[in-house]
Amino acid sequence: MNYLIAFMVPIGGFFWATAYFLIILKGIKDKAHGMPLIAMALNFTWEFIHVFIYPSNGISLYLNFTWFLLDLGIAFTYFKYSYNFFHLFYAIRKPHWLILSLSVFLIGFMLNLYGEQFFSQLQNIITKDFIFAEVLVGFIVYLFVPACMVAMLFQRKNSRGQSFLIAFSFTISIICYVIEILFNPYHHQWGNSFMMMLMATCIIIQVYYAILIFNQMKKEGKNPWSVL
C-alpha cells in the first residue's frame, strides 16, 4: 500500500502535465485558448511561486517546473487566440483586453503569494507539515480550473480548444493527489472538514466538466477519445 501511495504524486503530476500539453495542442489546432483566463492566471502564478519564490521539495519541484514550462505554452495560446473570443462575447477593444488579462495575472500572483504567506503562519496551529499551505492554496487554485472550463463550455457552446482527454487527464490527476493525501500517514492530519470539502468539490466539478465535454464532443460527431 505504501508503494502505491508513493506513486500517486508522480502519476498525478504526469496526467496534469498531459492535460497541459493537450491544451496547447488543441489550442493551436482550433486557434482557441483552452484554459480560461482566471484559471490560467492562478495556475501559472502558483507554479511560478513554487518554482522560483517558495520552491517545492523533491519531485514536486521538478513537476512544478515542468508544469510552469507547459503553462508558458498555454499562455501563448491565450494571448494569441483569446482576443477574438473576448471581442465576440464582451465587445471590448484590444487594449482593454490586454490590460484586463495582465491585471488578472497580477492579481493571481498576489493571491497566491499572500495566500501562501497567510496559511504558512497557521501551519503550526493546523499541522506540523510544512507543505500544508502549498497544497491547500493549490487545491483552492485548482477549484477554479473545472469551474471556469464549465463556464467556458457553456459560453462557447462548442468544444473548440477543449477535449474530453484534457478533462480525463485532469480528473485522474486530481484523484491521484486526493488519494495520496487521504492515505499517506504523513498527511493524515490534513483530514479536516474544510480540506475534505475542498477536495470533494474539486472532484465533483471536474467529473461534471468531463461528462459535459464528453457529451458535447459526441453531439458534434467527434470521437471523445481522440487527442485532437
**Domain-by-domain residue ranges, the chain?**
2-219
pLDDT on residue 128: 62
pLDDT on residue 2: 65
Query: pTM, whole model, 2 decimals?
Result: 0.94
The ranges of the chain with pLDDT < 50 are: none
pLDDT on residue 19: 98
pLDDT on residue 149: 98
pLDDT digits (tens, 9 = 90+) for 102-141: 999 999 999 999 999 998 887 666 566 667 888 889 999 9
Which DSSP string do the residues of the chain spell out, in sequence order? Answer: -HHHHHHHHHHHHHHHHHHHHHHHHHHHHHTS-SS-HHHHHHHHHHHHIIIIIS---THHHHHHHHHHHHHHHHHHHHHHHHHHHHHHHH---HHHHHHHHHHHHHHHHHHHHHHHHHHHHTHHHH-S-TTHHHHHHHHHHHHHHHHHHHHHHHHH-S-TT--HHHHHHHHHHHHHHHHHHHH-GGGGGG--HHHHHHHHHHHHHHHHHHHHHHHHHHHTT--TT---
